[in-house]
Chains A and B, each alone.
Chain A
Amino acid sequence: MSSYQKLDMQQRMLLKFEVEEFLFMEADLLDSRRYDEWLDCLADDIHYWMPIRRTTTAREVEREFTKPGGMAFFDDDKNVLALRIKRLAIGRAWAEDPPSRTRRLITNIRILGYDGEEVSVASNFKLYRTRLNSEEDNWIGRREDKLRRADGDFKLSQRHIYLEQTVILSQNMSSLF
């Protein structure tokens, strides 16, 4: 990812602008329930993953997250994400019928690396969900994404989601992060 360091300030600003445009656009697709269009933003080999987080002592903090390949809340490829979306469209997905209302706030966007083809991006998010009359969920966390250049646009090829909660204080996570 060393080529990012070689970019001058103007090139970095342009890249960051492109990345932000993409992240804000795909967040808006999810907020707008345009799931099929969101799916089109994903690379075919995307890894979408949310490990389980635990409370550990400071001394053992390296055990805080479960490891890739093990137990996770999400460990999806594109097919599984497509299944999740198909489920919503098919009816009888009661967790989302009536549909939740969601709003995603994407902040603290930082480019971690760029090799000319793929950008590594860290961002913070708040995903607010409210359902029915008064149900509320607040999910806050960090994402580590990879955006790959394709046909003058980006495709999301990695989304690793690190939530702040250990016990998920929600009856489900039927939203996408």
Chain B
Amino acid sequence: MSAASNHNWFDTESGILDRRIFSDEEIYQEELQKIFGRAWNFMCHESQVPEEGDFFMNWIGEDEVIIVRDRESTINVLLNSCPHRGNTVCRAELGNTKSFVCSYHGWNYDLNGRLIGMPSEEHFYRNPMDKNDWGLTPAAKVESYKGFVFATLDPDAPPLVDYLGWVGRLGIDFMAAQGELEFLDGVHKNRVQCNWKLAVDNLYDWYHVKVSHGSALKIGMIGEESMAPMDQMVLLGEFGHGIGGPGITEEMFRESVARLRGLEGEQIWYDRNVRQRMKPEVTEMLGPVGKRSFGHPNIFPNLWVALTRQVCLRIPRGPCETELWWFNFQPKHVPVEQRQNAIFVQNHLFGPAGILEQDDGENWSHSTRGAKGSFARTRPLNFTMGKGQDQVLHDESGQSRIETVVNEHGQRWTYQSWQEWMNAASWPELMQNHSLPPTGKI
């Protein structure tokens, strides 16, 4: 348990942010405990580890974990650190194995992380030692939502499905609604010299598209209608989840289908996406508001669920460094051509060579640099766009939303929630003190 705090880095009244949160080492260390140490962190998709012994490596903050399927077909999440000297027991980033053997002294662990062997145990460990006490440390809880595996290190965390809430679930719901998903082999990974929160901030940011991605717009790689619209719908969820971006009108649905029949081009994925939502079973799953949300969901803290059947994990590597991992999915049963088009989009929009994402990294790293200077870091950052100008609209389905123009509601909600996590001493305290999604004027 950590101590409660009363930080006011983000002033919710004014929308002013203390930019030290993007560069300060102490704040970062606190985040590793209070954000990543507590949250449900995305690990992988079940289809990444289909067989007994299949494993994939991921991170919870700066702690490396092994995600492995055991003999009972359960997926375990184990700390990649041998309790003898702390050495890693797995150095590959994926694979299949019967057990994990520490390369230092040969302590050997089964797929559940149990210590099953130590070289020359009977000769050297003459003192009794209970091997049951010295397995690989498991995550406190591992749960899946529609095939997406999450883990938390905090036993007090609420169940995953409650943690996600309807806003956190919506992005995954939409992907899962497209048929049984299959992970496509190969995670795009690269490193940006930026604070992880700036990458998260950016997914709510529909203000930057025309400028940051001006070149991609001009060459027709992305369309104005889908990527730089004025009309926006924002959904805010408990614990910091959110979705920000365009809302689709019935008219847009109709136009999109018409274009799909007539015109070919790179926008085809967008049209298919829209058409998917018109299927009755999908409409029912997403709900009347969720169906119209075409924004970017973030599952707090750091998982962007993109509309392209991709998720991007923003893994902290220090206050000023972040790894971006793109996981790619497709429904198992789709026509070859449709599959190839979708893979084309997944390979060409995002990732370090992605025509869209290339231009983001430098902005985020320079924003991080702007939080380092001893004078610059004293200067406030402005998150006031649209503040106090909008109304949270209630829907009888329970799906509240804000319908407005380009705004910074998603970012403000993220920093407000983040601050509540940072100020709470524990999950029980966070449960008690966190803000519920806003109502009324916002």
- The chain A residues found within 8 Å of chain B, CB to CB, are 50-52, 54-57, 60, 63, 66-67, 69-76, 80, 83-84, 86-88, 90-95, 166-174
Contact of B93 among A56, A86, A93, A172 (CB under 8 A): A56
Contact present for B362 and A87 (CB under 8 Å): no
Partner of A70, one of B186, B215, B348: B186
* B95-A174 in contact (CB<8A): no
In the assembled complex, the Cα of A67 lies from the Cα of B347 at a distance in Å of 13
> Which among B92, B95, B351 is the interface contact of A73 at CB below 8 angstroms?
B351
A7 to B286 Cα, complex, angstroms: 67
- Known: A94-B215, A168-B191, A168-B352; 8 extra A-B contacts, CB below 8 A, are A60-B92, A60-B95, A71-B328, A72-B186, A91-B218, A94-B362, A166-B93, A170-B190
In contact, B346 and A91 (Cβ under 8 angstroms): no
The count of A-to-B residue pairs whose CB atoms sit within 8 angstroms is 131
Q: Which of the candidate stretches B144-152, B293-301, B353-361 sits at the interface with the other chain?
A: B353-361
Contact at A63–B190, with CB atoms within 8 Å? no
Closest to B327 in A: A71
Q: Please tell me if the beta carbons of B215 and A51 are within 8 angstroms of each other in the complex.
A: no
Q: How far apart are the CA atoms of A60 and B94 in the complex, in Å?
A: 9
Please pick, from B187, B218, B363, the residue contacting A92 in the complex, using a CB distance under 8 A.
Answer: B218
Size range of the chain B interface in the assembly: 35 or more
Give chain A residues whose Cβ lies under 8 Å from the Cβ of B219. Answer: 83, 86-87, 90
In contact, B323 and A167 (Cβ under 8 angstroms): yes
B257 on interface, CB distance cutoff 8 Å: no
Which one, B184, B216, B357, contacts A172 given CB within 8 A? B357
Would A71 and B218 count as touching, CB distance under 8 A? Answer: no
Contact of A63 among B95, B193, B344, B347 (CB under 8 A): B95
B212 touches A (CB below 8 Å): yes
- Chain B proximity of A82: nearest CB distance (Å): 9
A63 vs B340: C-alpha distance when bound (angstroms):
22
Can you spell out 20 A-B residue pairs with CB atoms less than 8 angstroms apart? A50-B353, A51-B186, A52-B186, A54-B92, A56-B92, A70-B186, A71-B347, A73-B347, A73-B353, A84-B355, A86-B219, A87-B221, A90-B215, A92-B214, A168-B189, A168-B190, A170-B191, A171-B192, A171-B361, A173-B352
- Picked from B185, B190, B194, B215, the residue with its CB within 8 Å of the CB of A87 is B215
